[in-house]
Amino acid sequence: MELKSKKVLVTGAGGFVGSHLVERLLEEGYTIRCLIRYNSRNDQGLLQDIPSDKRSQLEIIAGDLRDVDCVQKAVKGVEIVFHLGSLIAIPYSYIHPREVIDTNIMGTLNVMTASRDHDVVKVIHTSTSEVYGSALQVPIDENHPLQGQSPYSASKIGADKIAESFFSSYSLPVMIIRPFNIYGPRQSARAVIPTIITQALTGKEIFLGDLSPTRDFTYVKDTVEAFAQIAECDEAIGRTFNIGSGFEISIGEIAEIISRITKSEIKIIKDEQRIRPEKSEVQRLLADSTLAQKTFGWIPKTPLKKGLGYTIDWISENLHRYKIGHYIV
């Protein structure tokens, strides 16, 4: 299916990945409706980073995924739904598990129900590599067991299964995209790479938690390309696809690379408040994205050092957006 000229909905459009996806779809001339989380400041989140002439083309609805009426209104009249909206921070899920579970599971139920009610042609549901927990075998393919090691990961497992059930029970044309660790411009300091970069650019000390876990980092523009590609692939309906680089690196090694790129002499300090509960910390993630490559031709194109360079350049120009030195949950 060609998406061009189709009317699409992007939930979570004001977020890091959502705003990049909206920008990618705008480049292709798609008609886009955005669902963002309401706030009294009329803040459109990271959609504000899109040039105003392009942003004026967007239809923006402010509301909440947990509001059935809001989601019904957002879905009505669109053909494709990109469901990215969720509460994503793992440390936040330790503090407010009920809100995270309610938003991610019930919000997804509302999106799937509205998509069924309004005969949506395709629904792209966003999962996360966190649903796998610590790797039991590597690389991790889509058949790896799911492990709820945090309230966040458990909520995303639940959301994935809701999406899967709507395909099986109602023949809703759902496909699940499961990104591994995304990074790039606009990402907040709740994520580790911006946390390291902001501290490296402004001081000689970097406060981090455990340095030993490994992650599979994928540049944000590569990730949104996977969203665009999967939506045009009828063969992807009813299936789940990993989206990752196939390269793992420890948090400590990432800090060293960022230090070299920024030419910073830094000292890494272990910050106890950033240490996650032992059984909750995911120790290793490494993606096998073979299925995505074979099914809709997706491959990552941005080498880690180049992507880090782009990210460092953007953060350098936008340091005023960050609370340097503060632990962001």
In DSSP notation, 144-201 reads SPP---SHHHHHHHHHHHHHHHHHHHH---EEEEEE-EEE-TT--TTSHHHHHHHHHH
**Percent over 70 (pLDDT), the chain:** 98
Q: Is residue 74 part of a domain?
A: yes
| Nearest-angstrom CA–CA distance, 269 and 316 | 22
**Tell me: the pLDDT tens digits for 14-61?**
999 999 999 999 988 899 999 999 998 989 999 999 999 999 999 999
Q: Is residue 111 part of a domain?
A: yes
**Tell me: the pLDDT tens digits for 208-257?**
989 899 999 999 999 999 999 999 999 999 999 999 999 999 999 999 99
The one-character DSSP state at 275 is: P
Q: Count how many domains the chain has.
A: 1
| Nearest-angstrom CA–CA distance, 107 and 240 | 19
HSE (CB half, 13 Å, CA atoms) of 70?
16
Nearest to 48 by CA among 36, 66, 33: 36
Range of the domain at 107: 7-180+219-243
**Tell me: the pLDDT tens digits for 113-163?**
999 999 999 999 999 999 999 999 999 999 999 999 999 999 999 999 999
- Is 281 buried (19+), middle (13-18) or exposed (0-12) by CB count in 10 A? middle
**Tell me: the pLDDT tens digits for 199-209?**
999 998 888 98
The residue length of the chain stands at 329
pTM of the full predicted structure? Answer: 0.96
Looking up residue 105, the CATH number of its domain turns out to be: 3.40.50.720
Q: Is residue 213 part of a domain?
A: no
Q: Is residue 14 part of a domain?
A: yes
Q: Is residue 325 part of a domain?
A: no
Q: Is residue 255 part of a domain?
A: no
Q: Is residue 272 part of a domain?
A: no
- Distance from CA of residue 196 to its chain's centroid? 19
When the pLDDT of each residue in the chain is averaged and rounded to a whole number, the result is 95
Q: Is residue 146 part of a domain?
A: yes
